[in-house]
Structure formats: C-alpha cells, structure tokens
Homo-oligomer: A and B are copies of this chain.
Amino acid sequence: MHDAGHSEEQDAAALAAPDPGFAARVRASFARQRIMQLLGAELSRIEPGLCEITLPFKDALCQQHGFFHGGVVGTIADSAGGYAGFSLMPEDASVLTVEYKLNLIAPADGDLLTARGRVVKPGRTLVVARADVTVRKDGRETLCATLLQTLMTMHGRNDED
C-alpha cells in the first residue's frame, strides 16, 4: 500500500472505460435516480472507475442529533461506488448493487457531504468498489464514512429499460 508495487492509485489510474460515451451514460442514469433530486445530491465528477457525488446540508436530511443521517451517507456512497463501476461497463449493460458495508467513522456534522467512489477490482460479472465520504465543516473536510461494495454487471440490459 505504501509500496509502489501495490499502489491502488496506480491500478485505478490504469482503468479504461470500454464505452467512450461512459460519462454521458452515467449522467443520464444519475438523472433518473429521483432520490438524488429529493436529497439534493449532485454528480460532481465522473472518470473511468471514479465517481464523486456531493450533497449540501439541509434539515430534512438529519438524524435525531442534527447531523446527516447514516442512511443518507450510505445512499450517496452506494451511488458513488455504483457509478464508478458503471463507468467501466459496456454500453448495453446496467449496474446492480449486490451488497455494501458502511463504516460510519465520525459524526457527519457539517455543511457538505462528498462521496468519492472508486473501482477496486473490475470484473466481467462482479465489480468491487469503495467509496469514502467526507463532511466539510468550517471549510475543512473530514473522513466520516467508508464503504466497501459488490456490484453486478447486468449484460444486455440497457440502463434505460
């Protein structure tokens, strides 16, 4: 991990999207996720194997102590990881979340959540992705959650169907 030979950053950098129109495809799919509009989330970055989603604070997203609810954190982390994976899939495929695990490692107390998803391992059928979520307070970002996720490629099932 600290050794060049095992750098995940290098691995991620080497990822290539088989569909040149991947960014438009991801943006169109994101736009169809109505829940993202309800929450107020935005797709702020999409690259092959990488996806970033941001979500400004509003009272309606709170748990009982006034912080972002853990489920909201999980929702954007799940989508960030999912679209990181989807960016690497062929044009005629759609993506399904098989499962994810979310560790809530600090209170999501701040004015902006940012979920950064990244593919750890692309595969023909199964894809493993991660997402880290930071919360910004007084201009400073703190890691508040991390997600580890398994995705499934649904070949021959266009995402718009």
**This protein's copies in its complex:** 4
Cβ B105 vs Cβ A2 within 8 A: no
Interface of A is mostly: mixed
Residues A33 and B64 in contact in the complex (CB < 8 Å), given A104-B98, A106-B121, A143-B121: yes
Query: A32 on the interface (CB 8 Å rule)?
Result: yes
CB distance from A83 to the nearest CB of B (A): 10
Which A residues have a C-beta under 8 Å from some C-beta of B?
A: 1-2, 5-6, 8-9, 11-13, 29-30, 32-35, 37-38, 50, 59-65, 69-72, 74-76, 78-79, 94, 96-106, 116, 118, 120-121, 123, 125-126, 128, 132, 134, 141, 143, 146, 148, 150, 152, 159, 161
